[in-house]
Amino acid sequence: MKNLTSWAMENVKRQKTESGKKIIIAGPCSAESPEQLLETANALVLNGNVDYFRAGLWKPRTLPGSFEGVGVEGLKWLRMVREETGMKVATEVGSEKHVAEALKYDVDLLWIGARTVSNPFVVQEIAESLRGVNIPVLVKNPLNPDVELWFGAINRFLKLGLKDVGAIHRGFSIWGKSIYRNPPIWKIPQLLKERIPGIMMINDPSHISGKRSLVPLISRKALENGADGLMIEVHPDPKKAMSDAAQQVTPGGFFDIIRSLNLEKTSYNGTNESSVDELSSEMDMVDDLLIHTIANRMDLSRQIARVNSPGQLTTARGAKWEQTLKRLLGMATEDGLRPDFIHRLFNEIQKESCHIQSSCSGIVEK
Ligand code: PEP
Ligand code: MN
């Protein structure tokens, strides 16, 4: 893999301008009708910050029967948007057939979706269909937090001679509850940047958040973490959107986000009032998550009690618990938490687990 890294480093073209202008991509999750596209684009063009107007035409959906995009028809609408507003247009491609269609309509930028990136054969086919074509390509992270798979997908394009290849960080699928739709795991884009220094990293706060209330906060966090731009989903009437209704913002909401980010500045002090509000609402969500996590743990204790034979108690105690605590305290220290605090917290949690197991299996605790 070492060769690939140095190859990528030599060939990646940094798209950021000298002034550090952030690349902004905005538009609906899906193209739904020519009217919806034009209404969004006419509103967005008023904000001089938008570099590319986005709209998905081919939508890889989780469930069959969901709206899977308008397909080729939408390419005419994208062309109309470009002609009427002068904005460059971008769409997602998931096959070599999509690439061929998009190129016929001179789409200005293509991105590869997270589901597609997870399939190296398809990525290779798409890359080969772009051989010799001078078009920017952005590669989303795969669904799973696998930096090598992401790195590999980007390299498939670089190796075929494409120069404008960047990355989009859209978060990762996990099992279980989270305040995010796709937790960002900020370490992963960081690792990719270490693998390919100079790679352009666009953040997609919409797919990370899954809900519009969280989009401003993630956008700010992304810029603080060094993102080179943002891709934000915007719909004129988000609640009626045919895909990703909960996370799209209105053009007005988008303007507010861009204004609050103060894009000319390169760093944020996070001390203004709205930032404190946003941070405390994120803290509320983390508190909710803590409750769900503790409830999950107690539920596991209940399940163990059911599986155990009557009178048996499996909750770790004594030497086994000391060992577990040691591991947890090591992790806590790495994360900058005070060991004493974590020690007390986990002893309380463990006491409750013992209590639950005892009551479930009829043991009376001493
Ligand atoms: C999208 O950009 O609308 C999309 C489908 O995203 P992802 O591939 O990140 O799920
Ligand atoms: Mn979407």
Residue 225 has pLDDT above 60, yes or no: yes
Does 170 sit in the ligand 1 pocket, CB within 6 Å? yes
* Domain match, 217 and 290 both: no
Examine residue 268 and state whether it is found in any structural domain, yes or no: no
pLDDT tens, 271-282? Answer: 334 456 666 766
* Domain match, 232 and 291 both: no
pLDDT at res. 52: 97
Examine residue 25 and state whether it is found in any structural domain, yes or no: yes
Cβ neighbour number for residue 185 with a 10 Å cutoff: 18
Residue 105 CA to ligand 1 center (angstroms) comes to: 21
* Contact predicate 43/26, CB 8 Å: no
> What are the structure tokens assigned to 228, written together?
């080179």
pLDDT tens, 252-271? Answer: 999 999 999 987 544 434 33
Q: How far apart are CA 22 and CA 49, in angstroms?
A: 9
Domain with residue 239: its CATH number is 3.20.20.70
Does 142 sit in the ligand 1 pocket, CB within 6 Å? no
Phi, psi values for residue 326, rounded to 5°: -60, -45
Query: Which amino acid residue places its CA nearest to atom 9 of ligand 1?
Result: 114
Per the structure, the complete domain to which residue 255 belongs is given by: 4-261
- Ligand 1 atom nearest to 168, measured from its CA: 9
Q: How far apart are CA 272 and CA 283, in angstroms?
A: 17
Q: How far apart are CA 158 and CA 13, in angstroms?
A: 10
Residue 266 CA to ligand 2 center (angstroms) comes to: 27
Of 247, 350, 264, the C-alpha closest to 300 is 350
Residue 141: half-sphere exposure toward Cβ, Cα within 13 Å: 31
> What are the structure tokens assigned to 242, written together?
């045919």
> What are the structure tokens assigned to 328, written together?
């947890």
Residue 232 CA to ligand 2 center (angstroms) comes to: 9
Examine residue 267 and state whether it is found in any structural domain, yes or no: no
Residue 244 CA to ligand 2 center (angstroms) comes to: 5
Examine residue 366 and state whether it is found in any structural domain, yes or no: no
Examine residue 271 and state whether it is found in any structural domain, yes or no: no
* Domain match, 240 and 337 both: no
pLDDT tens, 162-193? Answer: 989 999 999 999 887 788 999 999 999 999 99
Beta-carbon contacts of 22 under 8 Å, excluding residues fewer than 6 positions away, are 49, 223, 227, 228, 229, 230, 263
Beta-carbon contacts of 173 under 8 Å, excluding residues fewer than 6 positions away, are 143, 144, 182
Domain final residue, candidates 261, 287, 316: 261
Q: Name the residue with higher pLDDT: 54 or 365.
A: 54
pLDDT tens, 6-23? Answer: 555 555 444 444 457 899
Does 29 sit in the ligand 1 pocket, CB within 6 Å? yes
DSSP single-letter state for residue 312: -
Mean pLDDT of 198-216: 95
Total count of domains within the chain: 2
Domain final residue, candidates 236, 261, 286: 261
* Domain match, 299 and 219 both: no
Classify 177 as helix, strand or coil.
coil
Domain final residue, candidates 229, 261, 293: 261
Query: Which amino acid residue places its CA nearest to atom 6 of ligand 1?
Result: 113
Q: How far apart are CA 227 and CA 169, in angstroms?
A: 9
Q: Which pTM was predicted?
A: 0.75
Confidence of residue 244 (pLDDT cuts 50, 70, 90): very high
Mean pLDDT of 215-232: 94
> What are the structure tokens assigned to 118, written together?
């997870």
Q: How far apart are CA 220 and CA 212, in angstroms?
A: 14
- Ligand 1 atom nearest to 231, measured from its CA: 2
Phi, psi values for residue 190, rounded to 5°: -60, -45
pLDDT at res. 336: 85
- Percent of the chain whose pLDDT exceeds 70: 85
pLDDT at res. 96: 97
* Domain match, 287 and 256 both: no
* Domain match, 192 and 290 both: no
Q: Name the residue with higher pLDDT: 346 or 13.
A: 346
Size of the chain, expressed as the number of residues it contains? 366
Residue 310 has pLDDT above 80, yes or no: no
pLDDT at res. 271: 39
Query: Which amino acid residue places its CA nearest to atom 8 of ligand 1?
Result: 113
Classify 167 as helix, strand or coil.
strand
Of 160, 185, 155, 158, the C-alpha closest to 170 is 185
Does 69 sit in the ligand 1 pocket, CB within 6 Å? no
Query: Which amino acid residue places its CA nearest to atom 10 of ligand 1?
Result: 114
Domain with residue 340: its CATH number is 1.20.59.10
- Ligand 1 atom nearest to 170, measured from its CA: 9
- Average model confidence (pLDDT) across the chain: 87
Classify 282 as helix, strand or coil.
helix
DSSP single-letter state for residue 265: -
Mean pLDDT of 45-62: 93
Examine residue 270 and state whether it is found in any structural domain, yes or no: no
Q: How far apart are CA 21 and CA 258, in angstroms?
A: 13
Residue 364 has pLDDT above 80, yes or no: no
- Percent of the chain whose pLDDT exceeds 90: 65
